Amino acid sequence: MATAGAPARGRLTVLWDDYATAWSGLHGGFDPRRASFLVRGWVRIAYGVGSWLGRHRVGPMTVTTAGLLICATVPAAVLLGRWGALLAAVLVLVAALADGLDGAVAVITGRTTKLGYVYDSVADRLGELAWLIAFWLAGAPGWLVVTAGAASWLQEYARARATAAGMSEIGVVTVAERPTRVLVAIFGLLAAALVPVAITVATAVWLGLALVAGVQLAVAIGRALRTSS
């Protein structure tokens, strides 16, 4: 998030087109107005809910913190058994919604900051750690959980380092971006409520997608940095 001045409290002047432009700038130039129906619809919903939260003076860091705290309850929910796995899936969904709203509130209220950007990124990684701990508690092998987490976090680390080295965009939208990991977590936990072994399958899917994404990102980073050098 780039630093911006805050508007007067309670006064929201960001229209949809302005919001979409700002959102694109925070997501490597990816324009939500040209995205798929689902992505465009989600961004529009985030814009609407974010506007409501902004009018009620709910700050972006508050939303981020709420999402992180919800993530922290996911492992505890899994310990409740099969119904707990179902509850854990719902909690992941709610946390993911909060994750999509904090940026919307920041843009709409003019409270985007570099600190908020870093905090949001750290909260995302900690939230995913909580989900993976829940996978392990639900029965997934520990080695598989650790490997899956390391592979996906390496993708985020490589992208961050490449950006610091001069890559001006996100490089490539891989098959294992955060929305995909959210879906794997939700459906993996839902399936585990019915068939416990499904959580191991979900962890393996997480790992497989992360490995493919790593190759995609490596190619994109190499191309981008060779062009900029």
* Token duo for residue 224: 């981008």
Q: If we measure between CA atoms, which residue out of 134, 161, 164 comes closest to residue 218?
A: 161
Distances (CA, A) of 35 to 44, 216, 219: 11, 20, 23
pLDDT, one tens digit per residue, over 143-170 is 999 999 999 999 989 988 888 887 766 6
pLDDT (0 to 100) of residue 2: 39
Q: If we measure between CA atoms, which residue out of 41, 47, 91 comes closest to residue 66?
A: 91
pLDDT (0 to 100) of residue 79: 95
Kindly report the number of other CB atoms within 10 A of residue 136's CB atom: 19
Phi, psi torsion values for 191, nearest 5 degrees: -65, -35
pLDDT (0 to 100) of residue 94: 95
pLDDT (0 to 100) of residue 61: 93
pTM: 0.84
pLDDT (0 to 100) of residue 5: 40
Residues 6+ apart with CB under 8 A from 197: 139
The Cα–Cα gap between 47 and 38 comes to 14
Residues of the chain with pLDDT under 70: 1-13, 27-28, 38, 168-171, 228-229
Cβ distance 198 to 159 under 8 Å? Answer: no
The CA angle 13-16-21, to the nearest 5 degrees, is 100
pLDDT (0 to 100) of residue 196: 94
pLDDT (0 to 100) of residue 41: 76
The Cα–Cα gap between 196 and 177 comes to 25
The Cα–Cα gap between 42 and 177 comes to 16
pLDDT (0 to 100) of residue 100: 81
pLDDT (0 to 100) of residue 229: 61
Q: If we measure between CA atoms, which residue out of 119, 157, 141 comes closest to residue 206?
A: 141
pLDDT (0 to 100) of residue 160: 85
